Amino acid sequence: MKEPKLFDTTLRDGTQGENVSLTVEDKLKIAKKLDEYGIDYIEGGWPGSNPKDEEFFKKVQNMSFKNSEIVAFSSTKRYGIKAEDDPNILKLVSSGAKIVTIFAKSWDFHVSQALGISLDDNLKLIEDTITFLKRKGIEVFFDAEHFFDGFNHNQQYALKTLEVAQNSGASIVVLCDTNGGQTPSKIREAIEVVKERIKIPLGIHAHNDSGLAVANSLTALQEGVEQIQGTVGGLGERCGNADLCIIIPNLKFKYGFRLPKINVEKTTSLYNYVFEVANLTPDNRIPYVGRSAFTHKGGVHVSAILKNPLTYEHISPEWVGNTRRILVSELSGKSNLKSKLEELGFDITQFSEEQFKKLTLKIKEYEHDGYQFEGADASLKLLVLREFFDYAPNFQVENFNILHYNFGKGTGTEAIVKLKINDETVHAVAEGDGPVNALDMALRKALEDFFPSLKNMKLIDYKVRVLDSASGTAAKVRVLIETSDTDKTWTTVGVSTNIIQASWKALLDSVEYGLFVDNLFPVKEN
């Protein structure tokens, strides 16, 4: 197998995914990050389809790229006009891109139903467009849209579209599983036939509607395809595209390719960066780069992992820039707990076997009541400190009260808290957007004069989970609060049948951790 070229279409095909919207500046930032990662080709968008992509290509011309070529995208010219008169084609020429991707129908069903033209007319569109762009000195990649469906329906016509593209001057033909419905065996059968007729390099562009985009792409590679297209995190229309964050580590660690330009150890950071810029929630369970990809919870697993990570990990997480995580829960054994305590900064030699046993039982009791410490390290650390280190905060809560009132068509919420700080009783009253926000504001108001660093802390996420929906409005709820200061974040948890009480517990833990615990007992950095 020849080492493949890697083609990223996050900025074009990826933006067609639901809830994916990138500004021009977002796209420029991601393009730069993809170049630093080592991608060969970056498809920046379709300059003829919208002003945003047109602006992207104007601005990207002023940037320098070390590893990547910027590629523009378009359909063939429109039926009934010349290529040199088609605004879309002319915008490709003026985009400044040295390489363009032209897509055309290779499925006769689409030609007749979607375009409403004859099969020969479709071939003429391909020939005229590529010929015109080649005369302009532009390299052309040809995307054979719906190729595999077309191959299964009318093999000779699908192959004819590839031959016309080849004979017109395309430097590569990319076989597209546009509907994402193919299987590896179908991919293999089609490519074997294509290789008999097409002599220029082949590429693969697979969608994930059957959950097989990565498998289909790797199968195509085994059949001699020289370019693999995909997106970061598999972003894309419907179920998305082939995920380069899975494909690239597989190429490196399963197929043995050197990939000298690719910084594989930055794969996780690339994934997180793109999702952060796109304002998307990362998928914890995605292979290689997900937060759970190297996370261990079962006691038997953790015991073995601590002896030799190869027992339950197929590669070292550091190879892709990820980290190993050990969870504690009702399923945990002593090995989990020891590893987690070390991660939280504790010297486990300070704990006796009896204390380990007591803490394990305590955690299981809490989780039986609905607590979950897997994503709430700050609350877990507070639990340990309270149990074994005589920890107490520098303030005590005497009581709090919530007032909710209606006025006209509006509503308002007011919180009153009473604290004891250094033997001084402090009352604070604050209004907020709902009870939790009002409590947060009142607590801050009471504490900030005594603890100025509280001004740097802000609540950045708030989640509520109903634990027993069968109980209706009397159900127990679990609240997770994520808090941040200038350089770190931490998560706390609270549980109660009263959502206000559950929120208050998580909120207090959050403030305590940020003010006292993190300074006195800092968590080790992962």
pLDDT in tens, 93-152: 999 999 999 999 999 999 999 999 999 999 999 999 999 999 999 999 999 999 999 999
The pLDDT assigned to 366 comes to 87
DSSP 315: S
Find the range with the poorest average confidence among 65-79, 151-165, 209-223, 338-352. 338-352
Is a pLDDT exceeding 70 seen at residue 32?
yes
Find the range with the poorest average confidence among 325-339, 393-407, 507-521. 325-339
The pLDDT assigned to 80 comes to 94
| Mean of pLDDT over the chain | 91
pTM above 0.85, yes or no: no
CA atoms of 149 and 22, how far apart (whole Å): 31
Q: How many Cα atoms within 13 Å fall on the side-chain side of residue 353?
A: 0
The pLDDT assigned to 519 comes to 57
**Which amino acid belongs to residue 152?**
N
Is a pLDDT exceeding 90 seen at residue 372?
no
Instruction: List, in sequence order, every residue forming a beta bridge with 43; answer none if it has no partner.
Output: 71
CA atoms of 330 and 340, how far apart (whole Å): 14
Return the residue matching tokens 């009263």.
Answer: 498
Go through 348-383 and write b for each residue having 16 or more CB atoms within 10 A of its CB, e for each that does not: eeebeeeeeeebbeebeebbeebbbbbbbbbbbbbb
Q: What is the pLDDT of residues 44-80, one digit of tens each?
A: 999 988 999 999 999 999 999 999 999 999 999 999 9
Is a pLDDT exceeding 60 seen at residue 414?
yes
CA atoms of 234 and 213, how far apart (whole Å): 9
**Which residue did the predictor score with more confidence, 246 or 351?**
246
Same fold, 5-262 and 395-450: no
User: Rounded to the nearest 5 degrees, what angle is found at the Cα of 353, between the Cα atoms of 350 and 354?
Assistant: 105
CATH topology of domain 5-262: TIM Barrel (3.20.20)
Go through 130-165 and write b for each residue having 16 or more CB atoms within 10 A of its CB, e for each that does not: bebbeeeebbbbbbbbbbbbbbeebeebbbbbbebb
pLDDT band at 405 (very low <50, low <70, confident <90, very high): confident
- Compute how many other C-beta atoms are within 10 angstroms of the C-beta atom of residue 54: 18
State the distance between the two ends of the chain, measured CA to CA, in whole angstroms: 37
Is a pLDDT exceeding 90 seen at residue 394?
no
Q: What is the pLDDT of residues 467-520, one digit of tens each?
A: 876 677 778 898 989 898 877 889 899 999 999 999 999 999 999 998 887 655
CA atoms of 247 and 63, how far apart (whole Å): 28
The pLDDT assigned to 520 comes to 56
Find the range with the poorest average confidence among 107-121, 215-229, 249-263, 443-457. 443-457
CB 261 within 8 A of CB 38: yes
Is a pLDDT exceeding 90 seen at residue 304?
no
What average pLDDT does range 157-172 have in this prediction?
Answer: 98
| 3-state SS assignment for residue 191 | helix
CA atoms of 304 and 239, how far apart (whole Å): 36
What average pLDDT does range 416-420 have in this prediction?
Answer: 95
CA 277 to chain centre: 10
The pLDDT assigned to 144 comes to 98
Class of domain 395-450: alpha beta
Q: What is the pLDDT of residues 238-292, one digit of tens each?
A: 999 999 999 999 999 999 999 999 999 999 999 988 988 888 878 989 999 998 9
The pLDDT assigned to 518 comes to 60
Alpha carbon distances (Å) from 342 to 94, 351, 523: 58, 11, 9
Instruction: List, in sequence order, every residue forming a beta bridge with 326; answer none if it has no partner.
Output: 296
pLDDT band at 429 (very low <50, low <70, confident <90, very high): very high
CA atoms of 122 and 76, how far apart (whole Å): 9
Is a pLDDT exceeding 60 seen at residue 521?
no
CA atoms of 270 and 44, how far apart (whole Å): 17
The pLDDT assigned to 295 comes to 87
**Which residue did the predictor score with more confidence, 306 or 508?**
508
The pLDDT assigned to 104 comes to 97
Q: What is the dihedral of CA 470, 472, 476, 480, to 10 degrees?
A: 110
The pLDDT assigned to 188 comes to 98
* Ranges of each domain in the chain: 5-262, 295-366, 395-450
What average pLDDT does range 420-437 have in this prediction?
Answer: 91
